[in-house]
Each structure stands twice: as C-alpha cells, then as structure tokens.
C-alpha cells in the first residue's frame, strides 16, 4: 500500500504542476498599429497578388518552363519574399508595356532571376553557385 501511495502522490504532484504551468499567464504584447502600417500591409498584399497574377499567365509560365524554372517553385518563392521586395518587383511590372514581345519575355526572365537570386541570398534555396 505504501508503494501505491507514493506513486499516487507523485502522479498528483506531476498533474498539479502541469496544471499550474498550463494556466500560468503568458505575457501579451500589444501595440498600436498606425494607419501607415495598416495601409502598407494592404499594399503589400495587393503587390503580391499583382506579381502572382503575372506569374500565373500562360505565356510567362511557358517561358519559365523553357528556361528550366519550375513555375510552382517560383510562385512559392514569391510567397517568401518581404513586402519591400514584392513592392519593388510589382513596381517594375506596372512599368512594362502591355503588349507581348521580346521585352515582356526579357522582363519575365529578369523577374524570375531576381526572385531566384533573392531567395538564394537569404538562404532559402541553393540555385546559383556564385551566391555564397
């Protein structure tokens, strides 16, 4: 009986400690969000949607496949870019001419190269050997 009492006490103590740790108050961090920060987040989402819609175009996807780039992987990498990087890329997409041609193909190739280069620099991938 003594052995069972010790086991029960140990189990009761462990359960009580777990309960106390589980219900302990955690520090909460809160701060005011300025209008500029909220608008920057919305703008970043819109820019990301612009870049993703550009990459979703059939002609751009075909060009990426011809260059040996997996379009789905490029889309995943765009999701990993910061808001500043996305804003920079989206700004260049808006400046491009609307018609199809060599310029659009070069711009798409440049965009893919920049995305791959940035993700390689931050260490998310290892595509280019000259980036270390």
Which DSSP string corresponds to 60-126? HHHHHHHTT--HHHHHHHHHTS-HHHHHHHHHHHHHS-SS-SHHHHHHHHHHHHHHHHHHHHTTS--
> Which tens digit of pLDDT belongs to each residue from 50-105?
888 888 888 878 887 888 888 888 888 887 888 778 877 777 775 655 445 566 67
Contacts of 121 (CB under 8 A, 6+ apart): 131
8 A C-beta contact, residue 71 and residue 64: yes
Mean pLDDT, residues 34-58 taken together: 74
């Amino acid at each position: 009986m003594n052995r069972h009492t010790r086991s029960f006490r140990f189990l009761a103590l462990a359960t009580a400690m777990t309960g106390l740790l589980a219900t302990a108050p955690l520090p909460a961090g809160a701060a005011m969000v300025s209008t500029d920060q909220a608008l920057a987040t919305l703008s970043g989402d819109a820019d990301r949607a612009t870049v993703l819609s550009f990459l979703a175009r059939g002609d751009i996807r075909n060009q990426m496949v011809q260059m040996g780039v997996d379009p789905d992987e490029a889309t995943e990498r765009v999701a990993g870019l910061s808001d500043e990087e996305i804003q920079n890329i989206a700004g260049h997409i808006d400046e491009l001419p609307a018609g199809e041609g060599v310029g659009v193909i070069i711009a798409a190739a440049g965009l893919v190269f920049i995305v791959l280069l940035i993700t390689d620099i931050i260490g998310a991938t290892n595509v280019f050997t000259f980036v270390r």
